[in-house]
Chains A and B, each alone.
Chain A
Amino acid sequence: MNKFEFAVADSIQTALEELNEHPAAAKVHAGGVDLVGELKHYTAQPDIVVDISEIPDLKWIADDAEGTTIGASVKLIDVIRHEAVSKKHAALQEAASVVGSPQIRNMGTIGGNLCQRPRCWYYRDEAYHCLKKGGDECFSVAGRNRNHCILGGGPCYIVHPSDCAPALIALNASVALQSVKGKRELPLEDFFILPESDATRENVLQPGEILTYIHIPAHAGKSAYIKFREKEGFDWALSACAAALEFSGKTCRSARVVLGGVAPIPWRVRSVESYLQGKEITEETARRAGEMAVEDAMPLAENANKVLLTKAIVKQALLKLNA
């Protein structure tokens, strides 16, 4: 790890000013789990680390008739244990519960979970100067790629590592981003970007900008998150599915279905969403939805198994909501 200065911000304003002074050389520390890993592997080499985990304004969960708002520095364990989350937003609760291990959920924050960098072994390995680090090759193309993407890939083939992101997108969440210049709010779905627009980052955050709040609008639906991990107790997703459905009686009125672990961004499958509208969720519709979800899949040499997995996981998520 290189040397750096560490600044503990006591307000959003202090953090933003601090970041603004060193836009290119600063990194944000929330729970620190991902950042410390990055520092150890020199994928992050900041001169200054700005800690936002003590900022009181970012450590709230507020819930009212309009929805639920979560500060970026709220720890995952506190998201999991919050009544509004478990009662109203099952997909988020289920997703946060399968992030990492208990230790990671005690340390990691919801904002950090959305902003964490990918797990690609070439990216994480100092020896490879890959596209994501500003190099000119994605080593997964000709290399080992069983954990890489089957959808949305090129020129870099990472998968987005977040569990909470697909769940929150299924729940139609939006995020607030702040910098000294002001605040912008956008659907979480638009926060993430594909490598084809910029392989060096996974989202639209600008230098000096931080994700401050996540807002989930009130809804009348049911939601679920199903994740498949190679190591069941503690792993990133090989494939995951978040689904949020609204019903009238037994008929699905509207659906949002988002895949995790299979694309460089949380992958919304609109074809499945429109297919489910007006249907009852039966074995057969759920199976068909699973097939549709991977219709555009282009697996790499080693990850065709993700296609089968994803079919099964989409089906499982939908049937869970019907039960």
Chain B
Amino acid sequence: MPDKKGNHSEIPDGVSRRSFLKGMGTGAAILPALGKTVEAADLENRFGPEPAPITLTINEKIYHLQVEPRETLIEVLRNRLNITGTKVVCDNGSCGACTVYLDGAPVYGCMMLAVKAQNKQITTIEGISQNGKLHPVQEAFIEADALQCGFCTPGFVMSMAKVFEENPKASLIEVKQGLAGHICRCGAYAQIFKAAENVSKRNGG
């Protein structure tokens, strides 16, 4: 599983510049990305252009499927796997509707090729509730009526959940920074921030 906060590849400190530039002594000093399940050497390293077999780990389940390299992660989730909680709006990396976690970090599923999501833990909106119980951020959205059409909601929930995972008592400014990659065309911002305020308060913030 990805860790709570880090979820990015580790970069070793204190490597001297010379050995770095010469690319010497690499292997041992490199830490693999957290949550990586397959050794780099095992990577099937060529795909397509016709559909090619890939393996994705989504909400802790493993899927084997055939995709073309040009298929984005969001297309594969929605159209091939019928995991449709995550929405597509702009399909252009500007609105945040398609936000999923990759090794715990929010990314735009519409700007990522599905082949690149292999060997990573993918979490979608379906994966953030636990044992059929909604995530506290989802509860807060319902309570504050933080949506109209609801298309932006799964994305907003993912990013807001991440903000509170990193700081349970996050301030409004931190929430806004964490949600900067989202747009709500219905303009439910006031209620979305109200939901955030409620979560923060409940956590003692």
Contact = CB atoms under 8 A, between A and B. Distances in A.
Nearest to A13: B23
A40 B12 CA distance: 35
B53 to A, nearest CB: 13
A4 B49 contact: yes
A278 interface: no
Interface stretch (B108-116, B124-132, B136-144, B190-198): B108-116
A86 interface: no
A36 B9 contact: no
Interface in B81-107: 91-94, 96, 99, 102, 105-107
B79 interface: no
> Does more than half of chain A's interface fall in helix, strand or loop, or is it mixed?
mixed
A77 B105 CA distance: 10
A32 B11 contact: no
Interface stretch (A52-60, A151-159, A258-266): A52-60
A106 B105 contact: yes
Given A32-B111, A53-B116, A106-B106, A67 B17 contact: yes
B181 A104 contact: yes
B96 A5 contact: no
Nearest to B92: A37
A113 B106 CA distance: 19
Given A40-B92, A106-B107, A54 B99 contact: no
B43 to A, nearest CB: 6
A296 interface: no
A33 B111 contact: yes
A2 B47 CA distance: 14
A260 to B, nearest CB: 19
B135 interface: no
Contacts of A321: none
B138 to A, nearest CB: 20
A176 B21 CA distance: 9
Interface residues on A, range: 35 or more
Interface stretch (A95-103, A137-145, A281-289): A95-103
A233 B176 contact: yes
A69 B18 CA distance: 10
A74 to B, nearest CB: 7
A2 B13 CA distance: 41
A53 B9 CA distance: 11
A4 B48 contact: yes
Contacts of A32: 111-113, 116
A56 B26 contact: yes
A101 B159 CA distance: 11
A9 B41 CA distance: 11
Interface string A32-58: 110011011000000101010110110
Contacts of A3: 48-50, 68-70
A241 to B, nearest CB: 21
Nearest to A98: B180
A132 to B, nearest CB: 19
Nearest to B119: A54
Nearest to A73: B9
Given A7-B45, A40-B92, A60 B70 contact: no
B30 interface: yes
A36 B112 contact: yes
A10 B41 contact: yes
A231 B78 CA distance: 30
A234 B41 contact: no
B46 interface: yes
B144 to A, nearest CB: 20
A8 B8 contact: no
Contacts of A54: 40, 43
A181 to B, nearest CB: 17
Contacts of A234: 94, 180-181
A106 B8 CA distance: 8
Nearest to B52: A6
B15 A36 contact: no
Nearest to A65: B17
A279 interface: no
B43 A10 contact: yes
Contacts of B96: 101, 103
A215 interface: yes
Given A33-B108, A234-B94, 7 more contacts: A2-B70, A62-B13, A67-B17, A78-B8, A81-B8, A102-B177, A104-B181
Top 10 closest pairs, chain A to chain B, by CB? A101-B181, A233-B180, A6-B69, A3-B49, A106-B105, A62-B20, A56-B30, A62-B15, A8-B45, A6-B47
15 contacts: A2-B70, A3-B69, A5-B46, A5-B49, A5-B69, A7-B46, A9-B45, A10-B45, A29-B113, A36-B112, A59-B9, A77-B105, A102-B177, A103-B96, A103-B106
